[in-house]
Structure 1
Amino acid sequence: MVPVLGVIVGSVRAGRIGPTVAQWFVRHAEADGTFDVRVLDLADVVLPLDLSGGDGPDAVAAWAGECDAFVLVTPEYNHGYPASLKLALDSVKHEWRGKPVGFVSYGGMAGGVRAVEQLRQVVAELHMVSVRDAVSFGRVKRAFEVDGTTRDEVAPDAADRMVGQLAAWVRRV
């Protein structure tokens, strides 16, 4: 049985580049062949504003429950990650536990690395295992061609290492 990799597009802003970044990663991960890759774009999900009702929205919980590993695709907003991503993570509890997670970040000069450092703390509290290697796109608006390919020469290698680490953790669980 092929393990399932869930890719979450964390930004919900109008005019966002997140789907372009996510689709680049999805194509890369699918070409590797290790995982069956599924995408959850938070712009397409109704997230709860009140987290007192239990394990959260059925759509996120059901989707997360089908996945063996995750990749969070996140921009960096004001040195942090989007509220939509935090809400999605907080709205589901048990489906995240014990599962590995990687990060694809993007932004200006820092490439989203500050957002990822904060997310590593959050996912640890959710009992997830964050893998060491990540993909980051600095100056993201210059990093992609119109067809969704990237000019970034480091990203494919980083993505390969991250997918390999996720696969190794899935085999351990």
Structure 2
Amino acid sequence: MSKVRIAVIIGSTRETRFATKPAEWIYTVARQHPDLEVELVDLKDFDLPFFNEAASNLWMPSKDPKAVAWQEKIGGFDGFIFVVAEYNRSVTGALKNALDQAYKEWGRKPAAYVGYGSVGGARAVEHLRLINVELQMVPTRSGVHIGGSDFYKIHPMAGNQPISAIEEAIGPSAKTMLDELAWWAKATKTARAAA
């Protein structure tokens, strides 16, 4: 089977976001996986309005051209890595809105997670897993959580070191997560093709 197409989705759109640092890191690591073809997808590039359709595109086509462009973009991927900031124990509003702007395009595809923050984005990732299940996605068991002293080593307002300074701690989790993502992406792609 050919490589599966994976989007690394940057889940924060703030001007002062930290998200690009872990996103670029996991993008670089994922590109080295022999089964993955990876693209960095930045929510900032899509200027999505707040969801304002008559219904989900599961039930009827979306009318807003920005929503349709987003659906077309994500529809071409076989799986996703979400780079997740934790805002008040959940995901960013921008990420939740992006998830709500599509339905059919997410379904029966795997999702993996890179969370960051004082507790590694764990609460936001757990919330995102529930949202992904509702969208008929397959969450991977393993993820990468950049938290505690590792987070403070690399955050610009603290140590501001490169991620290579903590790669020994988070690299094994990334490998396991990417292997799981590749397996599920291949399995679900085969199943979608047969359906």
What TM-score do the two structures reach when normalised by structure 2?
A: 0.82
SS state at 2:184 partner: helix
Match of 1:32 in 2: 33
Aligned counterparts, 1:22-171, within 5 A: 22-53=23-54, 55=57, 57-108=67-118, 110-139=119-148, 140-143=151-154, 146-171=161-186
Partner Cα separation in structure 2 for residue 10 and residue 40 of structure 1: 9
- Check the 8 A contact 2:4/2:186 in 1, yes or no: no
Identity among equivalent positions (%) equals: 33
Cα drift, residue 171 of structure 1 = 2.2
Q: Deviations over 1:81-130 (max 9, x none)?
A: 1000000001011000000000000011x110000011111000000000
AA at the equivalent of 1:131: T
In 2: Cα distance, 1:89 partner to 1:28 partner: 24
Q: Aligned letter for 1:122?
A: I
Give the AA of the match of 1:105.
G
Q: What displacement does 1:71 show?
A: 0.6
Amino acid at match of 2:91: Y
Instruction: Report the counterpart of residue 193 of structure 2 in structure 1.
Output: none
Number of the residue aligned with 1:12: 13
Compute the RMSD of aligned alpha carbons: 1.7
Any idea what SS the aligned residue of 1:32 has? coil
Count of residues paired in the alignment: 172
Query: Shift of the alpha carbon at 1:148?
Result: 4.8
Once the two structures are TM-superposed, the CA of residue 62 in structure 1 deviates from its matched residue by 1.4
User: Mind listing any 5+ residue stretches in structure 2 that lack a counterpart?
Assistant: 189-195
Q: Which moved more, 1:52-61 or 1:26-35?
A: 52-61
Once the two structures are TM-superposed, the CA of residue 41 in structure 1 deviates from its matched residue by: 0.8
Structure 1 CA distance for aligned equivalents of residues 145 and 185 of structure 2: 23
The runs of 5 or more residues in structure 1 that have no matched partner are none
Shift of 1:141: 4.1
CA–CA distance in structure 2, aligned partners of residues 116 and 22 of structure 1: 15
